[in-house]
């Protein structure tokens, strides 16, 4: 049994492995931890279950796995459906996840993750627009090449989990106009997932 340490609802990195497990109906124990205003006390508390004192972190088979991408890869060894069955789709998905994992910094900085509110931007910085254009390009590419309705094909996989918080950010800050029609439809598909609604409760 997996034990996943997360913080709902404002940790976007926690959301990624959590929603992947939910969408694929993979059994796990959810352990909710809360962020503290005192960062030193938070570190002291978190380091008891996470070597980096960060979340998410997965405990499985007497092993501790930290970082969302490493967690996803670990789960994929037990559940191959985490990634697309098609080799090209898997390769594309891993590339897109890696880009998401390390990129789009301006979007993250300007548009903090808060799926509970709506706060449209009155001015959108050029660097954020550039990030949105690249996201739209990626989404169009995946949806077109692998025929949808998800980025790597017919089923929800890790690459969708990685971009779901991005879809939420776009909604929070009213940035849908920067997406193509096919990307807007995909964004709405993610936002309408029952598992996301469960995360927000």
Sign of CA dihedral 92, 25, 5, 63: negative
Which backbone phi and psi does 143 adopt, to 5 degrees? Answer: -65, -35
How confident is the model at residue 186, as a pLDDT?
Answer: 99
Angle, helices 68-78 vs 87-102, to 10°: value is: 160
How confident is the model at residue 86, as a pLDDT?
Answer: 98
Residues 138-171 have pLDDT tens digits of: 999 999 999 999 999 999 999 999 999 999 999 9
The DSSP H or E segment spanning 178 is: none
Show me where the domains of the chain are located. 2-81, 82-200
| Helix, strand, or coil (residue 31) | strand
- β-partners of residue 57 are 5, 66
- pLDDT tens series, the chain, 201 aa: 999 999 999 999 999 999 999 999 999 999 999 999 999 999 999 999 999 999 999 999 999 999 999 999 999 999 999 999 999 999 999 999 999 999 999 999 999 999 999 999 999 999 999 999 999 999 999 999 999 999 999 999 999 999 999 999 999 999 999 999 999 999 999 999 999 999 998
CATH number of 2-81: 3.40.30.10
Please count the residues of the chain. Answer: 201
How confident is the model at residue 15, as a pLDDT?
Answer: 99
Instruction: Tell me if domain 2-81 and domain 82-200 are identical in fold.
Output: no
Long-range CB contacts (< 8 A, 24+ apart) of 141-148? 141/92, 142/92, 142/93, 142/96, 143/182, 143/183, 143/186, 144/182, 145/88, 145/89, 145/92, 146/84, 146/86, 146/89, 146/92, 148/186
Report the C-alpha gap between 43 and 70 in whole angstroms: 21
The answer to whether 72 and 20 are in contact (CB under 8 A) is yes
CATH number of 82-200: 1.20.1050.10
């Amino acid at each position: 049994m997996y034990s996943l340490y997360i913080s709902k609802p404002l940790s976007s990195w926690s959301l990624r492995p959590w929603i992947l497990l939910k969408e694929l109906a993979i059994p796990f124990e959810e352990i909710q931890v809360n962020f503290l205003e005192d960062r030193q006390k938070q570190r002291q508390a978190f380091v008891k279950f996470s070597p980096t004192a960060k979340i998410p972190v997965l405990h499985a088979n007497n092993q501790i796995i930290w970082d969302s991408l490493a967690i996803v890869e670990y789960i994929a060894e037990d559940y191959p459906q985490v990634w697309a069955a098609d080799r090209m789709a898997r390769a594309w998905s891993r590339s897109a996840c890696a880009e998401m994992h390390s990129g789009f910094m301006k979007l993250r900085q300007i548009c903090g993750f808060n799926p509970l509110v709506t706060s449209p931007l009155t001015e959108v910085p050029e660097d954020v627009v550039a990030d949105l254009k690249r996201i739209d390009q990626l989404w169009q590419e995946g949806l077109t090449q692998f025929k949808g309705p998800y980025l790597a094909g017919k089923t929800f996989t890790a690459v969708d989990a990685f971009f779901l918080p991005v879809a939420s950010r776009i909604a929070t800050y009213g940035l849908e106009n920067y997406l193509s029609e096919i990307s807007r439809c995909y964004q709405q598909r993610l936002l309408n997932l029952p598992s996301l609604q469960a995360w927000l409760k």
